[in-house]
């Protein structure tokens, strides 16, 4: 195995954190040694099938970081003296620069230095101003060899949500809609509170709930609440690592939403923008972004309707577009938004009879 292989393992481990670590980034760490010889007679049966001696990931916000969990994993696997000797011969692989500041937990670089780990391989530097190269400098000052930029583009994509919040002071924004094969999102005869209109099949509904489970917040417009009365939760998706509902967000600038809507039940966190917390004379979405950044939300799904989606596009507020296309034709109705010109398709897949296309903005 080489540096690229170990960093890819870090990526896989980091994904296990999913939405449970937000507003922190997703981080995985691997400790490996190239040679077990002369490590001391411990009675531990170490084979040459794998050189990984420990691994870990950031499991939840406020908890231990990936590097700490990987080191603890080594100490759990081997007796204390042998674990210490292995760490002093090891290379630490991590997909994001180790932190060098006190936050919810002590700096990871302090522990790395204390353990005598001689080499650290990093995919991406941390753009957080509290880190931003300081971790690397501190490691190198302690005489530790540091390699950076291994699969850097892939590492940045993995933490694109966190990177966007830090660099743009807003969440990573995913525009999402379902449409017919002739690009309508609803028939023209929809009436308020008549019930949700569904285009896509059960498999795509589950896929949509999985998306919600991975993101911090979801926003819909006033008309969508009145027309569809959505729950905006993750009830159809179950996972070992994530079962969290997103913060649901909407607007009621004219005090017209009935409190009987599912949006107002107590099942999950809710944020409603009204004339009391939004100045209608100022750009509304800019104020929304300021509030979401203040709450340190890494990501936001814009789920509808067409007016809200087009407002985000007009205000240049999007990073990703997900379109679920059903194999039906409506003939007329509410037209789907136009796909922005500066995105490119990065994935296309079938979901039952539906087609899911994912577009990302050019970087």
Place of tokens 């929809």: 190
- Kind of pairing, strands 334-335 and 184-186? antiparallel
- Kind of pairing, strands 91-96 and 184-186? unpaired
Annotation says 215 is catalytic: no
With contact defined as beta carbons under 8 Å apart, do 313 and 339 qualify?
A: no
What is the rounded CA–CA span in Å between residue 88 and residue 37?
Answer: 13
Catalytic entry in 67, 97, 207, 303: 67
With contact defined as beta carbons under 8 Å apart, do 287 and 279 qualify?
A: yes
Who contacts 298 (Cβ-Cβ below 8 Å, separation ≥6)? 22, 23, 161, 162, 164, 165, 171, 172, 216
CA–centroid distance for 130 within its chain:
20
With contact defined as beta carbons under 8 Å apart, do 177 and 185 qualify?
A: yes
With contact defined as beta carbons under 8 Å apart, do 155 and 96 qualify?
A: yes
Report the catalytic residues: 67
């Amino acid at each position: 195995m080489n540096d690229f292989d170990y960093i890819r393992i870090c990526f896989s481990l980091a994904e296990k954190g999913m939405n449970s670590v937000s507003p922190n980034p997703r981080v995985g760490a691997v400790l490996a040694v190239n040679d077990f010889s002369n490590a001391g007679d411990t009675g531990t049966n170490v084979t040459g099938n794998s050189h990984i001696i420990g691994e870990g990931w950031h499991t939840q916000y406020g908890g231990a970081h990936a590097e700490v969990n990987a080191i603890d994993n080594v100490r759990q696997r081997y007796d204390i003296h042998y674990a210490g000797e292995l760490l002093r011969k090891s290379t630490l692989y991590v997909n994001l620069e180790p932190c060098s500041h006190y936050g919810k937990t002590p700096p990871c670089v302090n522990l790395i230095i204390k353990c005598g780990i001689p080499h650290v391989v990093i995919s991406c530097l941390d753009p957080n101003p509290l880190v931003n190269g300081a971790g690397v400098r501190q490691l190198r000052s302690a005489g530790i060899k540091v390699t950076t930029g291994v699969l850097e583009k892939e590492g940045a994509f993995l933490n694109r949500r966190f990177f966007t919040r830090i660099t743009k002071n807003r969440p990573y924004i995913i525009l999402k809609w379902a449409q017919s094969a002739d690009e309508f999102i609803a028939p023209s005869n929809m009436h308020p509170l008549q019930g949700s209109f569904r285009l896509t099949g059960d498999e795509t509904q589950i896929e949509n709930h999985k998306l919600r489970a991975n993101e911090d917040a979801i926003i819909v417009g006033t008309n969508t609440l009145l027309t569809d009365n959505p729950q905006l939760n993750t009830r159809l998706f179950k996972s070992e690592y994530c079962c969290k509902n997103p913060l649901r967000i909407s607007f009621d600038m004219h005090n017209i939403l009935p409190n009987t809507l599912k949006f107002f039940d107590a099942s999950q966190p809710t944020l409603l923008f009204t004339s009391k917390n939004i100045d209608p004379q100022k750009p509304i979405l800019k104020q929304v972004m300021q509030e979401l950044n203040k709450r340190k939300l890494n990501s936001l799904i814009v789920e509808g309707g067409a007016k809200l989606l087009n407002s985000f596009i007009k205000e240049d507020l999007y990073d990703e577009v997900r379109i679920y296309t059903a194999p039906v034709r409506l003939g007329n109705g509410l037209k789907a938004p136009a796909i922005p010109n500066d995105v490119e398709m990065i994935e296309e897949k079938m979901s039952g009879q539906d087609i899911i296309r994912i577009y990302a903005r050019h970087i």
